[in-house]
C-alpha cells in the first residue's frame, strides 16, 4: 500500500474513533440532562411539600431552604421555586434577602450585596459604589453641574466694564437678567468651585 494511502487510512481510523467518542459523550450528556431535570422537579416537589407543612410562606425553615436553593443552585428555576413556596419571585427575593458579592464599595468599603441571580456587578464605567454612596455621588455631580450652568449663564449674560475675562469678575458685577444678585451668585460659586488666582 502506498504511503499516502496508508496515511489516509490511519487518519480515517482516528476520525472514526473520535466520532464514536463524540456520539457516546452526546448520549451521556442527554442522559445526564434527563437525570438533572428529574432531580430539579423532585426538589420543587419537596419545596411544595415543605410549604404545605409549615405554618406560613415566610416560616424561617422554608425561607432558609429557598435562600440556599436560590443562591447556591442556579440551575433550578427561580419562578418554579417561588411558585412552589406560594410566592411571587419578587416576594421571594425580598424574603430571602441579598447575598454578599465579595465586591467592596470604593467609598465606604462595605460589601455591595448581590440582589438577584441576574445582578450585574457595578463599576463597569467607573469605581464600584454601593447604592447609598452612588446616590451621594450622583447628588454631588448634579449640584456641580447646576453650579457650572449658573456660572456659564452668568458670564454669558453679564456685561463687565473692565477687561476681565473670567467668571469671578462677571459675578462681582452682577446681572440684572439673573434671578440672583451678583453677590449671591458669587457666594454660590465660591462654595462649589475653586477661586481663581488674582493677577499680581
Residues 82 and 68: their CA atoms lie apart, in Å, by: 13
Question: What is the Cα Rg of the chain in Å?
Answer: 33
pLDDT at 150: 78
Residues 155 and 165: their CA atoms lie apart, in Å, by: 9
Q: Is pTM beyond 0.75 here?
A: no
pLDDT at 3: 61
> Using the 8-state DSSP alphabet, how is residue 104 labeled?
B
Residues 68 and 92: their CA atoms lie apart, in Å, by: 12
The contacts of residue 146 (CB under 8 Å, 6+ apart) are none
User: Per-residue pLDDT for the chain (200 aa), expressed as one digit of tens each?
Assistant: 566 666 678 888 889 999 999 999 999 999 999 999 999 999 999 999 999 999 777 899 999 999 999 999 989 999 999 999 999 999 999 999 999 888 898 888 988 888 888 888 776 677 888 888 888 888 887 788 887 777 777 666 655 544 444 555 555 544 444 445 555 555 555 555 444 445 44
Written as nine digits, the cell of 129 is 459604589
Amino acid at each position: 500500500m502506498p504511503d499516502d494511502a496508508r496515511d489516509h487510512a490511519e487518519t480515517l481510523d482516528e476520525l472514526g474513533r473520535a466520532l464514536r467518542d463524540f456520539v457516546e459523550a452526546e448520549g451521556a450528556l442527554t442522559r445526564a440532562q434527563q437525570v438533572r431535570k428529574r432531580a430539579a422537579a423532585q426538589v420543587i416537589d419537596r419545596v411544595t411539600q415543605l410549604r404545605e407543612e409549615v405554618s406560613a410562606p415566610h416560616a424561617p425553615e422554608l425561607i432558609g431552604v429557598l435562600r440556599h436553593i436560590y443562591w447556591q443552585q442556579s440551575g433550578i428555576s427561580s419562578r418554579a421555586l417561588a411558585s412552589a413556596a406560594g410566592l411571587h419571585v419578587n416576594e421571594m427575593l425580598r424574603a430571602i434577602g441579598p447575598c454578599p458579592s465579595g465586591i467592596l464599595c470604593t467609598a465606604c468599603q462595605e460589601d455591595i450585596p448581590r440582589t438577584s441571580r441576574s445582578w450585574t456587578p457595578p463599576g463597569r464605567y467607573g469605581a464600584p459604589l454601593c447604592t447609598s454612596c452612588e446616590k451621594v455621588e450622583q447628588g454631588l455631580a448634579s449640584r456641580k453641574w447646576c453650579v457650572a450652568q449658573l456660572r456659564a449663564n452668568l458670564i454669558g449674560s453679564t456685561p463687565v466694564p473692565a477687561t476681565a475675562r473670567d467668571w469671578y469678575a462677571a459675578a462681582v458685577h452682577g446681572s440684572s437678567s439673573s434671578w440672583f444678585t451678583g453677590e449671591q451668585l458669587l457666594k454660590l460659586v465660591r462654595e462649589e468651585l475653586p477661586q481663581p488666582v488674582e493677577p499680581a
